[in-house]
Structure 1
Amino acid sequence: MRVRIGDIRLYFDVDGCRLTPAGPGMAERPTLVLLHGGPGADHSPFKPAFSRATEFAQVIYLDQRGSGRSDRSHPGLWSWERWADDVIDFCDALDIPDPVLVGTSAGGWVALMAAIRHPDRVARLVLDSVMPGLPEERLDVFERLGGTEARETARRYWSGESAETIREAWERTCLPLYSQRPGGDPDGENRLKRIEWNHDVLERFRHHLAENFDGWTRLDQVTCPTLVLAGEHDPVATAPAAKRLAAGLTHAKTHLHILPGTGHGVFREDPDRSFELLRDFVDPRHA
């Protein structure tokens, strides 16, 4: 489905009901708005894992401006601020008054920016594998997980080298290290193939957006309850960075969980534990 938000149409999909029968009445459940990473990917990596969240919430998958099946728009509007405002406009258009924003990887930057810019419109915030570690911190993890080749490939990719050979080396050598599941990620190859990428958005992130994210300096503006999830062996959004993120949310009731033995994207890496934590967090009794 698509909905018009200002100058564009955003693609979204819905899983589960917000209203469910409860005796003689109807009970409301929280609505989770899922914000994908990339940037430039789409919502498909959330599927099928997030189907289990429909046991306690309504789930909305959203392709952000410029990504997936949403309109491309203009590169000048591919920004953290515009993406964050799009999320709130989207929730207004669908009459979602109290969204729980769930952001994974760079989607967490969008969710965080929405909570900073619109503190009265975000009920709860879930940040999964979000804040990047310091450069040497990330390279050290890549080397520990994949050796010197992984470290050097990551260094060259993050430094902005744009040759096709570098992107291929990144996808071949570094991306598999995002998962630390025993025996590997059985759906990893197919999941990457399912994504409708806009590589122009990803390149804009590498060359412009990554260095212009100022969320670190504005964490004290987040006021809603926040769940911070991180993988112990995440080579990008490192565990120490998750601790710094939680410490910076000084005006939000914050729950930090670093899941042992996991990599990037804890809902895929350890679904049993992460969805248990999510269920507990969105339960109204935890307000």
Structure 2
Amino acid sequence: MRVAIGDISLYFDVDGCGLVPDGPAMVERPTVIALHGGPGADHTTFKPVLDGVTEHAQVIYLDQRGSGRSDRGGPESWTWDRWADDVIAFCDALDIAEPVLLGTSAGGWVALTAAIRHSARLGGVVLDSVMPGETDERLAIMERLGGAEAREIARRYWDGEDSDEIREAYPRVCLPLYSQRPGGDPDGPDRLRRIRWNPDVLEHFRQVLFDDFDPWPRLGQVTCPTMILAGEHDPVATASAARRLAAELPGARLHVVPDAGHGLFREDPATATALLRDFLAGIEWTRAHG
């Protein structure tokens, strides 16, 4: 499905009921909006890993501006603020009140930016594998997980090296290190093939957007309930950065999962889904009891 948002059209998909029967009444379930990473990937990165969430909430998968099946726009509109404002405009267009934003990786940057700019509009935010660690720390973890070759490739890629060699080497050598599941992520290769990539957005991220993301001075504007998920061995969104973020967001729930890498809903879907269920239940209890 598609919906017009200002100058573009966004693609979205829906899984699960918003209203469910409960005896003589219809009960409204919370709405979770899944925001993919990349940037430049699409919502298919969440399928089928969020299937279990539909037992507790309606899930809306959104392809962000410039990504997947949504209109691309241009680099001038590929910004954290624009993506965050698009999410709110999307909710306004579909009359979605108090959604819970679930952002993984760079999608969490969008969710966090939305919470900073529009906290009163949100029921909550779930930030899964979001905050990047310091460069030296990330490189050290890459080396521990993949040796000196992985460290050097990551350094060149994160420095923004513009070469076909490094664009090929990073997904081949470093991307598999994101997962700490025994034997790796079995669905990983197929998931990557399913994505409708916009490589221009990814390059824009490497060259421009990474350095533009600095939420720390504005974290005091986040007033909605927040949950932070992190893998202890994530080589990019490090556990130490997640702990720092939790310390700066009063009341935020932090869960660091041992033996996990990047993307808790892929690394440990049962644990991540259970944590999300409890988070949603807490929000619903607070709404019911004021």
The TM-score with structure 1 as length reference comes to: 0.98
Q: SS where residue 20 of structure 1 aligns?
A: strand
**Structural RMSD (CA):** 0.8
C-alpha separation between the residues in 2 aligned to 1:178 and 1:66? Answer: 24
Quote the residue 2:67 is aligned against: 67
C-alpha separation between the residues in 2 aligned to 1:214 and 1:182? Answer: 34
Whether 1:32 and 2:32 are equivalent positions in the alignment is: yes
C-alpha separation between the residues in 2 aligned to 1:162 and 1:263? Answer: 27
The counterpart of 2:257, out of the listed 247, 256, 259, is: 259
Quote the residue 2:228 is aligned against: 228
C-alpha separation between the residues in 1 aligned to 2:148 and 2:122? Answer: 42
Instruction: String of CA shifts for 1:81-104, please: whole Å, max 9, x gaps.
Output: 000000000001011011000000
Instruction: String of CA shifts for 1:181-205, please: whole Å, max 9, x gaps.
Output: 0111111100001110000000000
Whether 1:100 and 2:100 are equivalent positions in the alignment is: yes
Quote the residue 1:275 is aligned against: 273
Deviation at 1:45, TM superposition (A): 0.8
C-alpha separation between the residues in 1 aligned to 2:19 and 2:42? Answer: 27
Quote the residue 2:201 is aligned against: 201
Query: Which runs of 5 or more residues in structure 1 are unaligned?
Result: none
Instruction: Work out whether residues 143 and 150 of structure 1, in 8 Å CA contact, stay in contact via their aligned partners in 2.
Output: yes
List, as ranges, runs of 4+ consecutive aligned residues in structure 1 with deviation greater than 6 Å: none
Instruction: Work out whether residues 11 and 62 of structure 1, in 8 Å CA contact, stay in contact via their aligned partners in 2.
Output: yes
C-alpha separation between the residues in 2 aligned to 1:161 and 1:62? Answer: 30
Deviation at 1:119, TM superposition (A): 1.5
Deviation at 1:76, TM superposition (A): 0.2
1:1-287 aligned at under 5 Å gives the runs 1-250=1-250, 253-283=251-281, 284-285=284-285
Q: SS where residue 161 of structure 1 aligns?
A: coil
Paired residue total:
285
C-alpha separation between the residues in 2 aligned to 1:121 and 1:174? Answer: 37
Query: Which runs of 5 or more residues in structure 2 are unaligned?
Result: none
C-alpha separation between the residues in 2 aligned to 1:5 and 1:136? Answer: 40
Q: SS where residue 237 of structure 2 aligns?
A: coil
C-alpha separation between the residues in 2 aligned to 1:180 and 1:228? Answer: 19
C-alpha separation between the residues in 1 aligned to 2:114 and 2:275? Answer: 22
Percent of matched pairs sharing the same residue: 68
Q: SS where residue 217 of structure 1 aligns?
A: helix
Instruction: Work out whether residues 280 and 286 of structure 1, in 8 Å CA contact, stay in contact via their aligned partners in 2.
Output: no
C-alpha separation between the residues in 1 aligned to 2:130 and 2:216? Answer: 11
Instruction: String of CA shifts for 1:127-149, please: whole Å, max 9, x gaps.
Output: 00000000001001100100000
C-alpha separation between the residues in 2 aligned to 1:125 and 1:116? Answer: 11
Instruction: String of CA shifts for 1:154-212, please: whole Å, max 9, x gaps.
Output: 00000010101101110110000000001111111000011100000000000101101
Q: SS where residue 152 of structure 1 aligns?
A: helix
C-alpha separation between the residues in 2 aligned to 1:30 and 1:115? Answer: 17
Deviation at 1:285, TM superposition (A): 2.3
Instruction: Work out whether residues 13 and 61 of structure 1, in 8 Å CA contact, stay in contact via their aligned partners in 2.
Output: yes
Q: SS where residue 120 of structure 2 aligns?
A: coil
Q: SS where residue 277 of structure 1 aligns?
A: helix
AA of the residue aligned to 2:240 = P
AA of the residue aligned to 1:190 = D
The TM-score with structure 2 as length reference comes to: 0.97
